[in-house]
């Protein structure tokens, strides 16, 4: 089970952050690397190359022996802020820094989500955004 909002996210029309596992021994290493390489080769609707920014993974987060879908890509963009799930992992700080650079006009706020992700989702999943209707 892989949610797209745990794997890759547009941060603007030409830039995507993509979860990338750095540990070759991790089960997610190969599939996330393949996703990253595919996105690097992708083009937008006008044939322009996209900017793909790697976003580290927080390492394995488990509950009762089952690996949970922990990812920094499950952030939520709100009015003036970006709420980013964190997991008490050394990659929390680098992930927050990357997202801070990508959202310079927003405050990036860390939200501890190790317990929340036991429900199989983090901030973006639980907010269930609905776009404003047409008037």
Please tell me the distance from the alpha carbon of residue 77 to that of residue 100, in angstroms, as a whole number. 12
* Residues classed as catalytic: 125
Are 113 and 87 a contacting pair, CB within 8 Å? yes
Are 112 and 122 a contacting pair, CB within 8 Å? no
């Amino acid at each position: 089970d892989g949610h797209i909002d745990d794997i890759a996210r547009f941060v603007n029309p030409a830039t995507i952050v993509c979860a990338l596992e750095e540990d070759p021994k991790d089960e997610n290493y190969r599939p996330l690397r393949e996703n990253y390489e595919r996105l690097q080769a992708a083009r937008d609707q006008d044939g322009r190359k996209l900017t793909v920014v790697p976003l580290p993974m927080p390492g394995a987060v488990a509950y009762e022996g089952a690996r949970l879908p922990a990812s920094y890509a499950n952030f939520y963009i709100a009015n003036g802020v970006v709420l980013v799930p964190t997991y008490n992992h050394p990659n929390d700080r680098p992930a927050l820094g990357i997202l801070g650079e990508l959202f310079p006009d927003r405050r990036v706020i860390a939200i501890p989500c190790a317990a929340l992700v036991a429900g199989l989702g983090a901030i973006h999943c639980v907010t269930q955004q609905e776009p404003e209707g047409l008037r």
